[in-house]
Structures are given as structure tokens and as C-alpha cells.
Amino acid sequence: MKKISALLLLLFASTLLKAQEHESYVKPADTLVQKKLRQWQDLKFGLFMHWGPYSEWGVVESWSLCPEDEGWTQRKGPYGADYYTYKKAYENLLTTFNPTNFNPEKWVKAAKSAGMKYVIFTTKHHDGFSMFDTKQTDYKITSPRDPFSSNPRSNVTKEIFNAFSKENFMIGAYFSKPDWHSEYYWWPYFPPTNRNVNYDPAKYPDRWQKFKDFTYNQIGELMTGYGKVDILWLDGGWVRPKSSMDSKSAEYKKAYDQNIDMPKIAAMAREKQPGLIVVDRTVSGEYENYTTPEQQVPNEPLDHPWESCITMGNSWSYVPGDHYKSTNQIVSLLVKIVSRGGNLLMNIGPGPDGDWDPVAYNRLSQIGDWMKINGEGIYESTAVAPYSEGNIFYTKNKKSNTLYAFSLSDNDKVKLPGTITLHLKGINKVKKVSLLGVDRKIKFSTNAGALTITIPADLQQNNKLTQTATFKIQY
């Protein structure tokens, strides 16, 4: 059953991705944005973090507040039976949120050693809890009602951005446009019925205007008081002008126009952060500078910049005892994504104490061991046809005539056959083949577009390689 649904999901995902590919990507006109996008595309591997008081209960981020009957919105625990009691208890988590082990330098060290080059942090998720010292609401980590507010590092967004900036990471602010705490989005006069605004903005324009101002002001705060920000990652794509929706879709008829005024937000944000990459997620057009396939790996390269966001565990939020992907699975994901020209944004959910599960550190350290040897085929690379053959995935260095062939192992240890044949167009002039991490001469021959590599007998079973055997092909 599980297998069948995984298969269905895959099928569904590939149709979704096809749709995404055909949607019109709009190249940003601003040359500073173009430049930053190119730099960002070279980074390949980033850290995503979903963190908020929901980690105290170890439940899904925000979604248990959403009155839609989906698998991921179910309420659990002692307050689950009644919606309003639950919402109150959820929002009351602020009074016990006290992550005293918070130490972003520890995260930077681990992320850096794994070869991650940028970070995206949930400054505010759909529940509306601000993980920064906003002046627009008291529902925030620095509220006097939150015990952590007396901690000198309570403005965690600032601390995280500073710590990662010091190590030259690109900095990204995840920010949810929908806000299920704001009375300007879920007006208490009406009950919420789904994820959307719960009143008609056209009928109550003053209230909607207040929501627009609130959003603009919060984003303004993030763009001014938090050092250099490179990416504004806006989630909650249902907050969009109705004109941007497919008028033939079933949703179109019942949807309200939720125009948040992106041109104004983006202009303000870019004035404060020149070259800022804006990701108005799933709202294709001028403000979706790259696309974000979620928990998916596209089969083919996309015709624009993109990033797959994928959880290291099963959940975006911290869940005690979550099942983490193995190092081998994570490296495979990275290689597959990079072979299609994308970036991998890998999520770790910090716990209520302010630290990660030790398993996450272990994974990052092993990825780092692999990256030290194989990273040269990852960074600053582009996709190259045929992208992969079986379990072998290709990349090409942007600046030199160098190809990389990553032969993925299905576990930590690498075993190699006697010969490997690669079919790459136009590489009849190969000068040298080497095996990364192995200081040995590697024999090869070429014949009509095929490159055959001979693996020395003793290396086939006994080598110190992990996860992949990576061949560097210079021509």
C-alpha cells in the first residue's frame, strides 16, 4: 500500500513538475538580481530550518490550526477535541517557549562542514508567530510573555542571520504571507473555514488594507534590522491576486482576490537590499525568481533557476524520534538534483530546547566527509546531457573542460565493477580520467562517443570511498 501511494505520488509529482516547466518563468529585469541568482545557483546546497513554539508539542508547523480536513492538519493531544480550545492552547505555547540551548554558531559550524552555503529560516510561518522582534504584533519570541524574551539572544532571526553571515552564507528569510494569528487575515468576527482569508477583501477593503500594511511593515523590518539578506522566500501562494489564477480552475470561482501588492513589497525590499532574490512561491511571474519543487527531484533540468526543498526527517518541524534520511540518501538527492542543474535546500527542524537532534549533526558530518572529496564536481557546475545513465549522474564544471560522473552506491560503501562505460557526446578528446579521493592512475579508452574506464582490481572491493565513486574527466 505504501509503495503504491509512493508511486502515485511520484507520478503526480512528475505531472506537477511538467506543468511547472511550461509555466512562464519571468527573468528578473534587475541586473543585480540576475547576478545574485547566478551566484546562488553555484552554491548548490543550503540549510532550511522550520522552527517555532510548535516544536514544544512536536507537531506539524502551523497546519493543525487550519480548518481543512487533511492528513497533515489533524489535531492531536489533550486539546484536540475542540477547535477553539486547541487554538488557544497552541497560541499559549509562547508562554513556555524557552529554547535555552539556542546556539546558532554550533549550527553554522555543522552546516559549513557539510558544505552548505546558504540558509533559509522561518522568520514567521502561517501560524503568525514571529521569530523576530517585530513591532507589528506581540505574538513573537521577544514578547515579555515568552520566557525566552529575557535571554540576550532572544531575537533568534537576528542571531541566526548574523552567525551565518559571518561564515559567508547567503541569507534567506522564509516569511509566510498568510497569517492565522492576525485579526486582519482571520477576522475573529467570522470563523476560519480554510487556509484563506476569512472575509472578502473586496467587501472589507479597510481591513485588507491593514493586512497589507502589516505585511509590508513586517517585511520592511526584516529587510532593515537584520544585516544583509539575499533571499526573501515567501510562502503561502494562495495569497495572490485573483488575476494570477487560472480562470478555468475549480478554485478560481470561490477564491477571494488576495492581492498583497507584491510590486510595492518587492520595490521596498530591494531598495533596502539591492539585488534581493524574491521567491513568491508558486505565484509564477516577476516575483518568483526561482521555483521550489517540494520534496521532489525533477527528472529533467528546468529552463530556469530552481531549488528542491526536502526534509532531512519526515517532517519540516521538529518531531521527537523523527526518522532521518541516511547520509547515502541525502548525498544521492544532492547528486541527482545537481545533475539537473538545481540546488538542494535541506531542512532540519530545531527542537524546543533550541538544538537539533544529534542524528542531524551526524548526517552533516558524514556529508562533509564526502563533500571534501567530491565537492569539486558539485559547486559551480551545470547540467550536461544525458544527465544520467542508470546510477551514474553527470555534472560539468562551468569554468573548465571538466566533467564529473558520480556513480551512486546504494549504501555507504562503494564497490566498483571492472569497467564502466559512459556515453557522453563530444568527449573523444579526453585527456585524463581520475577517481576523486584515490591517488592512482586510471586507464581509459574512447570509442565513438563512449568512454570506457578500467578500475584496478584491488580498488573494486577495497577502497575508502563512501556514497559515490566520482570520476573526473578532463578533456
Applying CB under 6 A, the residues found at the interface with ligand GLC are 50, 61, 235, 294, 309, 316
Distance between CA atoms of residues 237 and 76, nearest Å: 26
Distance between CA atoms of residues 446 and 461, nearest Å: 25
Distance between CA atoms of residues 180 and 187, nearest Å: 9
Provide the minimum distance between the beta carbon of 347 and ligand GLC in the complex, in angstroms, as a whole number: 7
Instruction: Give how far the C-alpha of residue 13 lies from the chain's centroid of Cα atoms, to the nearest Å.
Output: 17
- Nearest Cα to 296, choosing from 348, 350, 340, 360? 340
- Measured from the CB atom, is 61 or 179 closer to ligand GLC? 61
Provide the minimum distance between the beta carbon of 213 and ligand GLC in the complex, in angstroms, as a whole number: 24
Q: Which residues contact 128 (CB under 8 A, 6 or more apart)?
A: 137, 139, 176, 179, 180, 181, 182, 185
Give the Cβ contact number of residue 274 at 10 Å.
12
- Measured from the CB atom, is 79 or 121 closer to ligand GLC? 121
Let me know: does 65 contact 180? Beta carbons within 8 Å. yes
* DSSP three-state, residue 178: coil
Provide the minimum distance between the beta carbon of 294 and ligand GLC in the complex, in angstroms, as a whole number: 5
* DSSP three-state, residue 449: coil
Let me know: does 141 contact 152? Beta carbons within 8 Å. no
Helices (H) and strands (E) in the chain, counts: 12, 16
- Start-to-end Cα distance in the chain: 48
Provide the minimum distance between the beta carbon of 416 and ligand GLC in the complex, in angstroms, as a whole number: 37
- Measured from the CB atom, is 44 or 177 closer to ligand GLC? 177
Provide the minimum distance between the beta carbon of 144 and ligand GLC in the complex, in angstroms, as a whole number: 28
- Measured from the CB atom, is 129 or 471 closer to ligand GLC? 129
- Measured from the CB atom, is 178 or 377 closer to ligand GLC? 178
Q: Which residues contact 21 (CB under 8 A, 6 or more apart)?
A: 298, 300, 302, 303
- Measured from the CB atom, is 86 or 404 closer to ligand GLC? 86
- Measured from the CB atom, is 296 or 374 closer to ligand GLC? 296
Q: By beta-carbon distance, which residue lies closest to ligand GLC?
A: 309
Provide the minimum distance between the beta carbon of 464 and ligand GLC in the complex, in angstroms, as a whole number: 36
- Measured from the CB atom, is 63 or 208 closer to ligand GLC? 63
- Measured from the CB atom, is 125 or 472 closer to ligand GLC? 125
Q: What are phi and psi of 246, to 5 degrees?
A: -70, 115
Provide the minimum distance between the beta carbon of 390 and ligand GLC in the complex, in angstroms, as a whole number: 30
Provide the minimum distance between the beta carbon of 192 and ligand GLC in the complex, in angstroms, as a whole number: 17
Q: What are phi and psi of 316, to 5 degrees?
A: -70, -40
Distance between CA atoms of residues 177 and 259, nearest Å: 11
Provide the minimum distance between the beta carbon of 86 and ligand GLC in the complex, in angstroms, as a whole number: 18
Provide the b/e sequence for 448-470 (b: ≥16 CB within 10 Å): eeebebebeeebeeebebbbbbb
Provide the minimum distance between the beta carbon of 62 and ligand GLC in the complex, in angstroms, as a whole number: 6
Instruction: Fill in the amino acid letter for 316.
Output: W
- Measured from the CB atom, is 54 or 356 closer to ligand GLC? 54
